[in-house]
Structure 1
Amino acid sequence: IEVARRCGRRLDIAGIIQDEEYFRTEVAPHVDGQRVRYLGAVDADARAEVLGGAHALLHLIDFDEPFGYSVVEALACGTPVIANARGSMDELITHGHNGFLVDDIGSAVTAPR
């Protein structure tokens, strides 16, 4: 949310909520239907449309992802991925080619510019 805000871009959040408490306290207060939108779970057709129309996929997770399925889906749609440089991300993303590997919010903000 902070990256999108600092970039002056709308953020669409899609998918199931895995941690209800985190969503309720950290995400929901920012969802305003305009700058931050929660789309809920989306089916395969809608997912391709959302990912294909996105400026980028933000994959800024705080654990070592062994395989990022949403990352592969975005890349298949031609959408670049901005991801934390950890886990398997360097196996999927070539920095500056199909996305950006970042270390913090500041580098995520400047990555797509």
Structure 2
Amino acid sequence: MRQLANPATAAGGGHPGPDDEMIRLCGVYVAMCHHYNTVDMSETDGNAFYARMRDVEDAIDDLPPQTLAGVVAKAQTAIALAGQEPEDTGSWQSSPAGDWARDVVHDLARLFGTGGAA
């Protein structure tokens, strides 16, 4: 497993921006996934933690990026998530990494291109 930099640190130099909350949540989600994948928890604790992870994932999905900094944070998050999976079990398709990688392409088109979705 590899761990990339936390995307929450990619915010624009301390100036408030429209994607600050989404970027912060991306950082929280990456940290939560790393914890879930590396800390031994009981089934009950693991299930509760996983439910909180899904809540954060849903919150990120509800906040489409409004700036290039937000798109970059989402892309970094997708890369970090794919990299946290063990080499023999993880893939872009088996986690939000694949969905968010696809979203990044659509976000770029929406912000800087035609905005069409396929």
TM-score where L is the length of structure 2: 0.31
Q: Which has the higher contact order (CA 8 A, sep 6+)?
A: 2
TM-score where L is the length of structure 1: 0.31
Greater share of residues in strand: 1
